[in-house]
A and B are shown apart, each in its own frame.
Chain A
Amino acid sequence: MTLRLENLGKEFAAGRPVLADLDVTIASGEFVCVVGASGSGKSTLLSLIAGLIPPTTGRILLDGEEVTGPGPERGLVFQTASLYPWRSVARNVAFGLEALRLPRARRQERVGRLLEEVGLAHLAGALPGRLSGGQQQRVAIARALACSPRVLLLDEPFGALDVQTKEDMQLFIRQVWQDVPTTVIMVTHDVEEAVFLGRRVLVLSCDPGRIARDLAVDLPAERALTEKRSPEFLAMRAEVEDLVRAEHRAHQARV
C-alpha cells in the first residue's frame, strides 16, 4: 500500500482554501498522526482521503489508483461512534461484509475474530446504546477493519472519551495496528496522543492547512504508557506543541 497526496488542495468557498499544496507519501504499515490547531483542515484532509468530498486541486493516489469516492479499502472512524443503533454489535461489524456477499459462515467467523481482537466478544448481541463510549469506538474500529482496509482513517477517535478510557484506547489501537496489517492515519488535536501513537507526526499549519512539519517519532516501537514521561518523549511533545500553538496564535490573530 502506498498513499500519495499530490498537490492536494481544498476550497469550500472560492478563494478561501482550507488545505493547500499537500504533497505527502505514506508507506505501507505506517502509523501517521496528523495534528493541527482548529481551522487547519485536518478533518477535511481525512474526508478527502476517504473520498467523501472531491479535492479542488491535485489528487489522491492509493497504490497508483486515483481516489474518486468512498470505498471499503479506506475505513473511516469518527469521533462519535456513528454505529447503527438498531443493529447488535456483531451485526454492526458485519455491515461491510454484507455488501461483499461473503458466505454466511465466513462472515460470522470473521466477525467473531474481530470481536475477539477488540475484546468485545461477550457483547456480540448487545445493542450499541448499551455500550460505553470506549466500547462503541471499539465496535466502530472493528467494523472498519472487517473490510480489510488498506488504510484506516481515524478522525479524533478518542476525543470524546475520558482520560483513562482514552489511554486504554491508545494502547488498544497500537495493539490493533501491530496485529492487523493496515496503515493508520489518525487526526487528533491531542499532541501527546499524536507523539505517543504515531511513528510519524504531520503538523498542519492554518489558513490554509499546509504541512508545517513532517516529523519521524524516534521512540521505541514498543511503547508503554510510562514512555510518556521519558525525556525523549517530552522533548518531542514540546516541539510539536510549540508548533501547534504558534499556528493557533497566528490563526486567532487573523480571525
Chain B
Amino acid sequence: MTGVPARAGAPTRQAADPGAHADVDAGAHVNADRGAHVSADVSAGGRPWSGVRPGRRIRLLNSGVSARVAWVLRALSVLVPLAAWQALSASGLVNPTFLPSPAAVWAAGNAMAASGDLWSDLAASLGRIGLGFALAVLISVPLGFTMGALPWAQALLEPMIGLLRYLPASAFIPLLIIWLGIGEASKVALLVLGVVFFNTLMTADVVRQVPRRLLEVSATLGAGRLRVASRVVFPYALPGMIDAMRVNAAAAWNFVVVAELIAATSGLGYRITRAQRFLQTDRIFAILVLIGLIGLAIDVLLRLLRTRIGRWAG
C-alpha cells in the first residue's frame, strides 16, 4: 500500500493556459500550425493554433492525483474486497464451510493466537525465510555483482543461470526430499533455489547499469579495478540491489509456505494442511491473511531500508 509514491501537488495542471497544451487534431497539421503560430502572434495576437477547439486540453497520461484522492483509493482497494467478502458470506449463497465470514475468520485467528500455535508456527516460518533468504543473498549478490562487472563472468555464467531460472523450484521438492530428507535442510534449500537465480540475474542487471562515464572518470582519478568495484560500482548499484531483494523476498516468502505444505511439522504452511484435515477453512483463511500481512511487512521494511540507503537516488 506504500507502493504509490506521493505525487501530491505534482505540477501537471499547467493546462490552465489554453495556448500551452493545445489539442492538435492531426499530426500532419503540426508544421503548418507552427507557421501560423508565429505569424498570428506577431500580427494580431489572435488564436495561434488553427486546429484548436477552445476548452479542450490534452492531459498527460501520468497526470498526478491529489494526496487525498490517493488515500481514498488506497482505502477502497482494501475495503471493497472486504465488503464483497462480507456480503457474499452474509447472503447465504455460499456454504460457510467453503467461505467462512470475516468474523469467523477473526475468531479462528484469535483462537489460534490464544493457544500459542500461531506464534510458534510463525516463528518457524520466519526462521526459515531468514536463513534461506540470507543464504540466497550471500550467494547471489557476489555472483551477480561479478557477472555485472566482468563481461567474461557474464558470458560464463549467464546461459546456465538463465536456464536454471526457468525450472520451477517447487518441482525440486521431491528431489530435495530424496537428497536432504524431510528436515529443515530441504525446506531452506527450496527457498534458496527459488530465489538465488533470479536475484543473481537482477543484481547483474543493476550492476551493468553503472554509467561508463563514471567508470572512466574513476580510472582517470587513479582508482584501480578493485577500488572502482568497491567505491563506485557497489555504492551506485546498492539501491537497485535492494530493490531486487525486495522483489525476491516476496518469492522467498511464498516458497517457505510451499515447502511447509509438504512433510513439515511446524510453520504456517503446516498449520494450513492441518486445518485442511479438519475442514477448518476459517483457520486457513486466518493463516492466509497473516501470511499476506507478514509479506507486506517484509516489503515495507526493505522499502524503508532502500529509501534510507538510496536517498541520493531519489
Contacts and interface: CB of A to CB of B under 8 A. Distances in A.
Interface residues of A, number: 29
Contacts of A50: 216, 220
B312 A127 contact: yes
Given A52-B216, A70-B216, A84-B235, A95 B211 contact: no
Nearest to A100: B222
Contacts of B222: 71-72, 96, 99-100, 147
Interface stretch (A31-39, A75-83, A245-253): A75-83
Interface in A61-101: 69-72, 74-78, 80, 82, 84-86, 95-96, 98-100
B219 A52 contact: yes
Given A71-B220, A72-B221, A86 B213 contact: no
A129 interface: yes
B151 interface: no
Contact of A82 (B217, B227, B235): B217
A144 interface: yes
A82 B211 contact: yes
A133 to B, nearest CB: 15
A144 B236 CA distance: 20
Contacts of B220: 50-52, 70-72, 74-76, 144
A72 B219 CA distance: 8
A4 interface: no
Nearest to A128: B312
A86 B237 CA distance: 11
Contacts of B216: 47, 50, 52, 70, 76, 82
Contacts of B232: 84
Given A80-B213, A86-B236, A147 B312 contact: no
Of listed B221, B223, B312, B313, residue having the most chain A CB within 10 A: B221
Nearest to B313: A85
Contacts of B92: none
Contacts of B312: 85-86, 127, 129
Of listed A71, A99, A144, residue having the most chain B CB within 10 A: A99
A143 interface: yes
Contacts of B219: 52, 69-70
B314 interface: yes
Of listed A47, A51, A74, A84, residue having the most chain B CB within 10 A: A84
Of listed B211, B222, B232, residue having the most chain A CB within 10 A: B222
B170 interface: no
A156 to B, nearest CB: 12
A82 B213 contact: yes
B161 interface: no
Of listed B217, B222, B314, residue having the most chain A CB within 10 A: B217
B214 interface: yes
B86 interface: no
B266 interface: no
Contact of B223 (A52, A99, A127, A140): A99
B218 interface: yes
B240 to A, nearest CB: 12
A82 B214 contact: yes
A123 to B, nearest CB: 15
B221 A78 contact: no
A51 B213 CA distance: 14
Nearest to B224: A99
25 contacts: A47-B216, A52-B216, A52-B220, A70-B216, A71-B220, A72-B221, A74-B220, A75-B220, A77-B217, A78-B217, A80-B213, A82-B211, A82-B213, A82-B217, A84-B235, A84-B236, A85-B236, A95-B223, A96-B221, A96-B222, A98-B231, A99-B223, A129-B312, A147-B221, A147-B222
Interface of B: 211, 213-214, 216-224, 227, 231-232, 235-236, 312-314
- Closest CB pairs A-B (n = 5): A96-B221, A72-B222, A70-B219, A76-B220, A86-B312
